[in-house]
Structure 1
Amino acid sequence: MVSLPEELQAREAAARRRVEELQAEATELALRLEKAREDLSRLEITRETVAQVLAELSAAEAAGRDVVAGKATEQDKTSAPHGSGVTMVPPWRESLVVAVLPDVYRDIVEVVADAPGPVQAKQIVPRIGLPATTGKIEGTRGKLKRLVERGWLDEDTPGQFTLARRGPGRDRSNSR
């Protein structure tokens, strides 16, 4: 039989180990919590910045700032969100040219404009310098759909994209 003092010592040692384990878990959780708070803070700042930029762009558009005949003002060039975390594809209007689109969208429209007929996303991907992987094809398909929504391209047959009948490049003078 085990003596009472030995049993108490064994239980005390087990309790001490459990406290140490829980302390280690608490330290790990505190580190994870701090990282999660940092991520949350970054996301909040990003969301606020995006909202501010979009509000400024909307206000500028409402004030009648247009890019006419492919000549952007210096302010238009510096405030365009190309590659800065916000991809802005403006709805097509008569006065807009392909040059106002972010680079990848411009490349896509130019490939579609140069094609003899309707093209699919999988045909566009290698022509814009991307590897023909499923992810890149699907990402390009999403961009093509966005260009259709905004009036730059048409999709008469599912997955087959052409220049919008009323859109850019129909006379080819506006596509470069």
Structure 2
Amino acid sequence: MTGTNALNPLLERIDERTQALTDQAAMVRAQIEELSARLGELDEHLEHLRITRKTVLTLAGKPDTAQTRVSSPVHELPEHPAYQQIMTLFADTGGPLRARDLCLALDLPIVPKNTEGIRSKLKRLVSRGILTEIEPGLFTQPRP
């Protein structure tokens, strides 16, 4: 018993530290979720502005030169191996996918950090003309 009693203060300190770190981790996860939601809102607003710009220019009968410059196909896959994995999954499925679908296929936990990271990569592939976004959040390979 004497040995156990001597360990009690140490175990209590470990338990206190564990609880403090658990609380901090929960706070950071909540912040990540808030930031991910805010990022999604900002991306949606940006997409609405792009659509509005394109519509106004179309109605005015003018080409959207800024949009053409931004979205002109580069067709070069970024060097990071995640992009190759994403393209392999698109080739294997042959259909449209969402960021969540790719997380599942890549065995990534479905958490905002992962889905937003994949969504960001998908948007980059769209900007390079490698993929298309057929509706918000739904990506596919362009048809020839």
TM-score (norm. length: structure 2): 0.45
TM-score, with structure 1 as normaliser: 0.39
Higher helix fraction (1 or 2): 2
Q: Which has the higher contact order (CA 8 A, sep 6+)?
A: 2
